[in-house]
Amino acid sequence: MWYLRGGQASLEDMVPLDLRSALAGFDPTLPIERASTPPASWFVSTEFAELEQREIFERSWQPVARVDEFVAPGDYSSGCLGRNPWVVTLGQDGELRAFHNTCRHKGREVVQGAGRADELVCGYHAWSYDLEGCLRKAPRMAGIEEFDREAMSLPAMSLEVWGPWIFLNPDPLAPPLAASAGPLIDLLDRRGWRGLKFVERITWDIKSNWKVVVDNYLDGGYHIPHMHPSLDAQLDMDSYRTEIFESSSVQSSRSAEAADRRIDYEAGKRIGEEALYLWLFPNFMLNRYGSCLDTNLVIPQGPDRCRVIYDFFFEGGSSEAEPDFIEQSMIQSDITQREDIAICESVQVGLSSGSYDRGRYAPQVEMGEYHFHRLLAARLAAALDRS
């Protein structure tokens, strides 16, 4: 409920954050040439982070699992979206279904983690549910009256499959995933990506607000020549472009090889002709280059912490006779990730310092970032108006 002005806490530094004035600190109606970035309070305030959880992350499509993790009927996986525990099951009929993973008895998570089972049994008092979410058994309930068994089913959660991913959305009124991801789905379909196989997941815990990571991704390649010498050598930065869609954006760059610049062997092979950097509001990025696809999912862990999950896919997967290429590609990616993490953590230090509030955009470069801030501002303003 409080945020700190300045890095060091003292009682007089602690002020309640007024969400409306925090939102008013960013004017999304200005052209980018005159716009300022959102105020630091958006990046350090617990109250603002809670508003985002409620109004952004509990109302957005989020990739929670991969289809290839569900092999046989009874396979299930569980987790949490914002405040919403979820469970996905593969039914006897081969259908994937998602439910709110909250036992109708006392509210415990019915299952935790992943596994394979004929039914979902709550560990607390052993109420059990079938793979379609219906209550099967409720032990020792003799004598209960007006017990509507059907009403005690696990509520369904919206589920969609796109490529290798299972997306969930806790908002029952959410429009379909294609309404926001349509341009990215079309682009990846054209680019060709069906043969990609999951190879590895790497998770990073970062000491920054989740938006710092997204901002860094959406800065139109502005920081690449300064912070990523290795990546800079692989790209033709003169060709770097940003294209804005309603709820997504695409950055693209030809490779240095395609531009006929001198590069080393592994780097050129890694990028191929062109690198595509696709972003889906609010927090999912897909990077398609060469024979690779990697995805970044940024999950808030509080106002000044986030977790980024990197999943790596390669054409042919690890069984292909190119382990050296995959290893080299992972090493290149690791270098870039470490450079980006250092940037984001340092930006968070500045945002928390009290000496910085708002910055400016480079109009020809940082349009993706401004687009992100505008979407966020519109969603949050609408939420405050509703309340």
Residues 327 to 366: which contact Fe ion by CB under 5 A? Answer: 340
Residue 54: name its binding partner from ligand FES, Fe ion, none (Cβ under 5 to 8 Å by kind). none
Nearer to Fe ion, 176 or 225 (CB): 225
Nearer to Fe ion, 103 or 343 (CB): 343
Which x/- pattern, by CB under 5 A, does the window 130-149 give for Fe ion? Answer: --------------------
Nearer to ligand FES, 114 or 121 (CB): 121
Residue 108: name its binding partner from ligand FES, Fe ion, none (Cβ under 5 to 8 Å by kind). ligand FES
Instruction: Write down the least CB distance from residue 124 to ligand FES, Å.
Output: 4
Nearer to Fe ion, 257 or 340 (CB): 340
Residue 314: name its binding partner from ligand FES, Fe ion, none (Cβ under 5 to 8 Å by kind). none
Instruction: Write down the least CB distance from residue 105 to ligand FES, Å.
Output: 3
Nearer to Fe ion, 60 or 329 (CB): 329
Nearer to ligand FES, 131 or 351 (CB): 131
75 binds Fe ion (CB under 5 A): no
Contacts with ligand FES, residue ranges (CB under 6 A): 103, 105-106, 108, 122, 124-127
236 binds Fe ion (CB under 5 A): no
Residue 340: name its binding partner from Fe ion, ligand FES, none (Cβ under 5 to 8 Å by kind). Fe ion
3-state secondary structure the chain: CEEECCCCCCHHHEEECCHHHHHHCCCCCCCCCCCECCCCHHHHCHHHHHHHHHHHHCCCCEEEEEHHHCCCCCEEEEEEECCEEEEEEECCCCCEEEEECCCCCCCCCCCCCEEECCCEECCCCCCEECCCCCEEECCCCCCCCCCCCHHHCCCEEEEEEECCEEEEECCCCCCCHHHHHHHHHHHHHHHCCCCEEEEEEEEEEECCCHHHHHHHHCCCCCCHHHHCHHHHHHECHHHCEEEECCCEEEEEEEECCCCCCCCCHHHHHHHCCEEEEEEECCCEEEEEECCEEEEEEEEECCCCCEEEEEEEEEECHHHCCCHHHHHHHHHHHHHHHHHHHHHHHHHHHHHCCCCCCCCECCCCCCHHHHHHHHHHHHHHHHHHHHC
Instruction: Write down the least CB distance from residue 136 to ligand FES, Å.
Output: 12
Instruction: Write down the least CB distance from residue 293 to Fe ion, Å.
Output: 17
**Which residues of this protein are in contact with Fe ion, per CB under 5 A?**
340
